[in-house]
């Protein structure tokens, strides 16, 4: 699998953790610290992003708002939420906004790779 991934998380540690889970098996199209940046990067790289890995709780446009905005730009966008334990209510909102699935932090490398494989044809 060589997929183009856009990583969105306000934690630099978590962005690095997500990158390291894939090694050379993916292309990191871009990284964003918040939902507003994610929407802009998605627009810039539309067509090159196979999946967005999106945190839910972020300053400046949370993951739910960013998911809805990206789905408005591209209804076929594939977005996986990467969220902390205890965020079930926010995850329901993300699903309504168009999220295609989720992975709970902390995660194992295999778990995040399998989640991406499940949504990237």
- Weakest-pLDDT range from 9-13, 21-25, 60-64, 84-88: 84-88
- What CATH number matches the domain at 3-108, 3.40.50.2300, 3.30.428.10, 3.40.30.10, 2.30.40.10? 3.40.50.2300
The pLDDT tens digits for 77-119 are 999 999 886 677 788 889 999 999 999 898 999 999 999 999 9
Provide the pairing of β-strand 51-54 with 26-32. Answer: unpaired
Closest CA to 7 of 30, 24, 41: 30
Q: What is the pLDDT of residues 17-29, one digit of tens each?
A: 999 999 887 899 9
């Amino acid at each position: 699998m060589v997929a183009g991934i856009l990583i969105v998380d306000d934690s630099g540690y978590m962005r690095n953790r997500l990158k390291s889970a894939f090694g050379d098996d993916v292309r990191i199209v871009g990284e964003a610290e918040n939902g507003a940046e994610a929407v802009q990067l998605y627009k810039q790289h539309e067509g090159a992003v196979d999946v967005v890995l999106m945190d839910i709780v972020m300053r400046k446009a949370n993951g739910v708002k960013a998911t809805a905005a990206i789905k408005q730009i591209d209804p076929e966008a594939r977005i996986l939420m990467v969220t902390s334990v205890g965020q079930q209510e926010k995850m329901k909102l993300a699903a309504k906004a168009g999220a295609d699935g989720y992975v709970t932090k902390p995660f194992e490398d295999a778990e995040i790779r399998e989640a991406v494989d499940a949504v990237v044809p």
